[in-house]
Structure formats: C-alpha cells, structure tokens
A and B are shown apart, each in its own frame.
Chain A
Amino acid sequence: MNRMRQSVEVIGDSDAIAIERTLAGDRDAFRVLVERHSQSVFRLAYRMTGNQHDAEEVVQEAFLRAYQKLEQFAEKANFGTWVYRIAANYAIDRMRQRKSEDSQRAPAAARGVEEGAAELDLMSMVPDAAPSPERLAQSTQLAAHMRRALIELTPAERTAFVMRHWGGSGIEEIAAALESSSSAAKNTVFRAVQKLRQALGPFVEQRGQARAMGTEL
C-alpha cells in the first residue's frame, strides 16, 4: 500500500516537473504527460462515446486542450484528474453534436434503433476465439444489451456514471464536468444506475440463474 502511494506521489511529482518544463517553453516535456495518461483517458472516452473512433478523437482533443490551458492548471491539482475532466467535457460535446446531427437527418427514435443495429452488426462481425458457440452467443447478447443501455443514457447520465463508476471521480468533480450542482450530479449518477438496472436487470438475473443451474457453459 505504502509502495503504491509512493509511486502515485512519484508520478505526481514528475507530472509537476513536466508541466513546469512545458510552461517554460520545452514543448517536448508535454510528451511525458501524453504518454503517461493516454491509456486511462482512452478508457474513459471509449466508455463515454461507445466507439473507438470517437474515443481516439476525444483523447487527442483532451490533450490539445490541456496544452492550451496549461497556464490555468493549478500546481497542486492532479494532472491525470484534470485531463480526465477535460476529456469528459469534450466527450459530452461530441455526443451532443452527434445527437443533433442525427436528429437533423432522421427521426431520433428511428436513428437510435439504426445505431443500435449498426453496433450489433459490427459486433456480430467481429471474430471471436471463444470455442463455445452458446457461451459466445450469451456473452455477445449481454454485451450488446449493455452497450445499448449505455447508449440510451443521456450524455450527462453517461458521463456521470462513467466518471463515478469507472473513473472513481468525486461528486464535486462530476458536478464541475456537468456544470451543475453537487446534488444534481448525485441525482444524475442515481438516475443512470436506475436506468441501467431497469435495462439490464432481467438479463443479468437470467445469467445468474443459468450459472446457478450449471447450464452456462
């Protein structure tokens, strides 16, 4: 535990040095920050946007914005958390933009179905090395339901849920990303969990029962 805390502190210290050097005009020092935090920002972005292409765009844009705003970064803050929030904000913008573009092209409901279908199409095309077809079918089906349930959350709900559940972000941090009050952010997390539960509960229970009966392969 102590070793872990020490390594976090070391990363924090070296982040601070890289930031100082970047601000002093050494552009290449920013590379350290990009290489160190890209993976975690990608995971956040993928879970928020639901596809790799948008996630990669979010990652690039987050680091570009972080570089532009680096002067505003408070020295004692954590760079990882800060860039995470920038990425979450941009991902929200991107999701809203996609939504408004979609609603201009086709009725929202029809679009939702089409997008879900497209996701499923792509997923069904992906070859999988798993040997059991039944297990593959079950896990693919559940994964498709989960993806769809996340897509059907509002951008704010998805952001709040992803930041809280997978990012471990504090309520204040989520509130800042959503530009809302802490209590509103807390409610958004709750609504997201409630919706996910409604959408996925029956499938998860079904899987649980299958496991208990030993019918899941």
Chain B
Amino acid sequence: MKHPDEEALIAYHDGKLTGGDGGDDNDALQREAVALHLKECPECKGELDRIDAVLAALDSMAVPDPGEDYGQRVWKQIAPRLPQKQRRWWQFGANKQEAGSASAWSGLFEPRRWFEPQRLATLAAVAALVVVAFLTGRHVGPPKPIADAANVRERVLTLAVGEHLGRSEMVLVELANAGPENGSGAKQVNIASEQRRAEDLLEENRLYRQTALEQGDTALASVLDELERVLLDVAHSPQQLSVAQLETIRERIAAKGILFKVRVVGQELQQRGASAQPSPGESQAAKIERKKT
C-alpha cells in the first residue's frame, strides 16, 4: 500500500476513538489497510503520532467548572420562562399516580368524578359566573377600548429596560471616574463594587437583549449587545486593576461610544415608559430616533 494521506490518517485516528462510527464497509477496509501499513512504516506512524499529539494537547484545554449547583442555577433562571404545558386529552385522569403531581383541575375533566360533591360545587360556581358575565355584558354594553395586556406588558418592559440602562450607565460612569485612593500612593484600583454590579447586570442584560431580538427591535438589541461585552469585560477582570489595565477598559468603553448610547436610549425608554401610552406613530418615531443613535 502507498503512504496514506493526511485525510486517511485523520480518519484512522477518528475511527480509533469512535469505533468507526459513521463509516461504511469501505471505510472499515481502509482502516484495516492503514493499520497494516502503520506497522511497517515508521514515517506514517510518526505522522499519526503528531496528529494524536495535537488532539491530545487540545484535550488538556481547561473548561471552567461552573460549580456543583450549576444545574440548580440554570433551573432557577429558566423556570419562570417555562409555560405550563397542557395535558393531552387522553391523559386526563388516565393515571391516578400522576394525578397527585398534576394540576388539581385535571380531575374536573374526568366524567366519572363530575358527580362528586366538591366537583358539583365547582361546576355550579363556574355556571354562576357564566350567567353573571352574560347579564353584566347585557347591561353594561360593549367594553370601552382600553390598553390591552400586550400594551401593558410592553410598557412594563420598556420601563424595566430603561431602568436597567440607567443602572448600567452609573456603573460605567463610576468606572470612568475610578482611580487610586487620594494620597494613598497606591498603584492599584479596586473595582470590586463595580464588578459585582456588572455581574448582576449581565444576567438582566442578556434577557432584555433576547426579548428585544424576539420583538424585532434590532437597534435596541445591538446597544444591549455592546453593553453586554463591556459588562463582561468588567465582570471578568481582577478586582485589583493596575492603572494601565483600568485605562484599557476605559478605552474600550470610549471606543464604542457605549456610554453615550446607553445614556440616550436609557433616557428615551424611561420617558416613554413613564409617560402615557404612546400612539403607534410616536412609538415608531422613537424607534427611528433610536436607530439613528
């Protein structure tokens, strides 16, 4: 056999690790042929060793340990965003063991339990509510247009993002003004307080950025993304920075003009959230203004 090329040697290495998964009979034959060749050819054996060495070196690359309680933390972060799943119709009352953990309402849909006294009471209450709602509707007439739930949600979110940007601005301003303690002669600057706040802000920032993206507000998402990088820099820096290191962080903040963007967008959102619900025209104008920023 002639010398196997690099691709064949990499495939051979890969096959050693995975037991040849993803290969067909031809691959198996090729692996056997390479194995035989390697026994006789020190040159190719050396080449394979060099491939092994690079991949083994990569294995030594450290992955940070997120901590034993990481799974619990992930759950804590995502649980509020998980909607309750509706039981499938065939599951209602199908498994008594499950009934204890599933919603207590599920039993309502189990015909044989409808006539239990407490079920009858619940059904009667629901029926009474329906009648009252019907009569109220007749006397009161059609409802006046009011801000619907989506608008209210948007306003709350607008306010929250505005406040978040306000808090972020404060951290950035404090960093911009940080320096060694007067008269101490110290060459180190302690940014522990700014760092803790940056860590807290990071999590919020990520959620707001994702929400902005989902809502198609790419301008806001872009500002939040730039802010996230700066917060990340701060959060991952040591607590004690040399003046030069602090200057590097300041330069990064200045180069992106992030402080200005955060200030303008934050103020605009806070005003919009605090004022009465804007008309669609105003809302659109505000978005255009933000895009300019």
Listed in ascending order, the chain A residues whose CB lies under 8 Å from chain B are 21-31, 34-39, 42-43, 46-47, 51-53, 56-57, 59-61, 63-64, 67, 70, 101, 118, 121-122, 125-127, 142-143, 146-147, 164-165, 168, 170-172, 182, 185-186, 189-190, 193-194, 196-197, 200-201, 203-205, 207-208
Contacts and interface: CB of A to CB of B under 8 A. Distances in A.
Contacts of B58: 146, 165, 196, 200
Interface in B184-198: none
B24 to A, nearest CB: 10
Interface string B7-28: 1001101100110011000000
A180 B233 CA distance: 36
A215 B63 CA distance: 27
B71 A196 contact: no
Nearest to A41: B74
A53 B81 CA distance: 19
A27 B71 contact: no
A25 B103 contact: yes
A137 B18 CA distance: 34
Contact of B10 (A24, A170, A193, A204): A193
B149 interface: no
Main secondary structure of the interface of A (DSSP, over half): helix
B78 interface: yes
B22 A26 contact: no
Contacts of A165: 17, 55, 58
B63 A193 contact: no
Contacts of A190: 7, 10-11
Contacts of A182: 22
A196 B55 CA distance: 8
B82 A25 contact: no
Contacts of A122: 233, 236-237
A34 B71 contact: yes
B62 A143 contact: yes
B79 to A, nearest CB: 7
Interface residues of B, number: 57
Contacts of A24: 85, 87-88, 91, 95, 98, 102
B22 A204 contact: no
Interface string B79-102: 101101111100100010010011
14 contacts: A24-B87, A25-B102, A42-B63, A47-B61, A47-B63, A52-B64, A122-B233, A147-B61, A170-B18, A194-B6, A194-B10, A196-B58, A204-B50, A204-B57
Interface in B223-271: 225, 228, 232-233, 236-238, 245, 248
A53 B82 contact: no
In the A-B complex, the 3 residue pairs with the closest CB atoms: A171-B22, A35-B71, A38-B71
A142 B66 contact: no
Contact of A31 (B61, B79, B98, B210): B79
A48 B210 CA distance: 20
A2 B238 CA distance: 47
B130 interface: no
Given A31-B79, A125-B237, A25 B85 contact: yes
Given A24-B88, A204-B57, A205-B53, 9 more contacts: A25-B86, A28-B101, A42-B66, A46-B63, A63-B74, A64-B82, A101-B225, A189-B14, A193-B14
Contact of B102 (A26, A42, A170): A26
B275 to A, nearest CB: 31
B222 interface: yes
